Amino acid sequence: MKLIFFSFLFGLFSLYSCENKPQTVSPPMLETKTVEDNSTHSASRSIDLSLLEIPQGGSEGTIISHLGYALSYNHQNLTPNWVAYELTAEEANGQVPRSNCYAEDPDIKGRQATLDDYRGSGWDRGHLAPAADMKWSPQAMDESFYLSNMCPQNQTFNGGSWETTEKMGRRIAKQYGKVYIVCGPIYTDHQFGTIGANKVAVPDAFFKAFLIESNGTYAAIGFLMQNVPEHQDLKASSMSIDELEDIIHLDLFHNLDDAVENEIEAQVVKKYWGI
């Protein structure tokens, strides 16, 4: 009986802690540049579109910049089109505790997913920019729990195959000093339908791409994994960026010099990735 009582108190404390945290304020962001795809922008935030991790093209969305990552939010699927960020070795060694304070994104105007949509759905609130990559700042940690950074994920996939890509990102950030990461959901057959009253679309699969620079040479690799519980090996899920772009209809790492982009996106140089 005591155990049940204390568990109840802990649940109340956790809820109170999340709902009553002081709001953080982001530092000023760089001015918004001309958008060449179908994206629109939130009036409250802006982003430097020349950053190497920011993709081009794809579905129409609202581009938002938070302290640790940027995203394009799809108001139809109620999930991000993509999430992109740079992760440095120092950031990958951060020590800020995990927040667990899931919340709607205050910078998104219009339709977005809610906590009620996920509650009791059987699907995880799966991070795209993982909390473990945001341990360098309390604000970055808190903002990683915005639902705009989430997609419905199979629970086993979230804590298994998808997590292996997250760990790989931190490993190569430490190895090369930094890594540029872009990831997002893939919708093909909509085989898993939607969840919640707002009909949040459950992705069929997910993609992730890494870009690193080593001794003046760039290298990139892409991954595609299905949103299912079966184990998916990193090596078997890997592909060139050109192959991935043909599937996701995004232009990844387009801010590189064209000659460099064309060379590194056509092949995967295995020595860089340890898989």
Non-local CB neighbours of 191 within 8 Å, separated by 6+ positions: 204
Tracing tokens 């304070």 back to the chain, one arrives at 101
Please say if 75 is a catalytic residue: no
Per-residue confidence band for 21, with pLDDT thresholds at 50, 70 and 90? low
Angle at the Cα of 204 (from 128 to 149), degrees rounded to 5?
20
Average pLDDT over residues 78-91: 98
Instruction: Return the structure tokens found at 116.
Output: 């009620």
Lowest mean pLDDT among 54-58, 102-106, 158-162, 225-229: 54-58
Angle at the Cα of 192 (from 186 to 194), degrees rounded to 5?
90
Per-residue confidence band for 62, with pLDDT thresholds at 50, 70 and 90? very high
Q: Dump pLDDT digits (tens) for 102-136.
A: 999 999 999 999 999 999 999 999 999 999 999 99
pTM of whole model > 0.85? yes
Tracing tokens 């890594």 back to the chain, one arrives at 179
The mean pLDDT value of the chain amounts to: 88
Closest listed residue to residue 132, CA positions, set 155, 105, 164: 164
Catalytic residue among 127, 190, 231, 249: 127
Q: Dump pLDDT digits (tens) for 161-172.
A: 999 999 999 999
Q: Dump pLDDT digits (tens) for 66-83.
A: 999 999 999 999 999 999
